[in-house]
Amino acid sequence: MGTVVDAAPIKATNESLAEKKKPTVVFVLGGPGSGKGTQCSNIIENFGYTHLSAGDLLRAEIKSGSENGTMIQNMIKEGKIVPSEVTIKLLQRAMEESHNDKFLIDGFPRNEENRAAFEAVTGIEPSVVLFFDCHEKEMERRLLSRNEGRVDDNIETIRKRFRVFLESSIPVVEYYESKGKVRKIDAARPIEEVFESVKVVFTPKNEKAN
């Protein structure tokens, strides 16, 4: 009987998530108030994806009281940015622990450094980047209508969030656009109309034809 022992070098045990699970990853990007959360809920319900929010995972880690959580909390308190690797490890762990192999990653990567680190650490490129494109006036209107009675406090904060999104996240969208991975959705329309466009992205080609 032949042997395959020497056919390839033995791999390190820390096999990447991409090799172990081969997950389908969709990045969901859009400015504050673009309706990402609502549409993520619709996608989960209709297409069986697991929703992962970087912010939620960081908050859960802090709440757990772990050593890692304390470190994250201290960094946030000091106004420091949590390193990409920390957030990515939390995302990676959540994917590994899930029984699913299809993931919506919401609000991440926030910038080019996040993007490069995610691909380097996990070995995964997104299959699609869903970009909810919504003009600033509409996003502002939506956010202010949520903030009952606190309009004056928040208008400046909201505009600052828009600026950060444009400066940090648009380069990520442009990078994936150059690779043909971006599906731009006009998110200024009513929720139902937006979801009709989203469905086209997630419906297999053979089903669209029928």
Mean pLDDT across the chain: 84
State yes or no: 159 annotated in a binding site.
no
| pLDDT of 64 over the 90 cut | yes
State yes or no: 108 annotated in a binding site.
yes
Least confident of 74-78, 110-114, 193-197: 74-78
Residue 177 lies in a domain: yes
| Average pLDDT estimate for 68-97 | 90
- Cis amide bond preceding 9, omega within 30: no
Cα Rg of the chain (Å, integer):
19
- Over residues 166-177, the pLDDT tens digits come to 888 999 999 999
- The total number of structural domains in the chain stands at 1
Residue 147, classed as helix, strand or coil, is coil
State yes or no: 34 annotated in a binding site.
yes
Domain that holds residue 38: 24-52+102-199
Look up the pTM and report it. 0.80
Residue 112 lies in a domain: yes
Q: Are 132 and 107 in contact (CB under 8 A)?
A: no
Residue 138 lies in a domain: yes
The two tokens of residue 46 are 């209709």
Find the CATH number of the domain harbouring 38.
3.40.50.300
Q: Are 185 and 132 in contact (CB under 8 A)?
A: yes
State yes or no: 203 annotated in a binding site.
no
| pLDDT of 7 over the 60 cut | no
Residue 115 lies in a domain: yes
Residue with tokens 């022992």: 5
State yes or no: 180 annotated in a binding site.
no
Residue 2 lies in a domain: no
- pLDDT at residue 145 in the model: 81
State yes or no: 50 annotated in a binding site.
no
User: For the chain, where are the E strands, in sequence order?
Assistant: 24-30, 50-53, 102-106, 128-133, 182-186
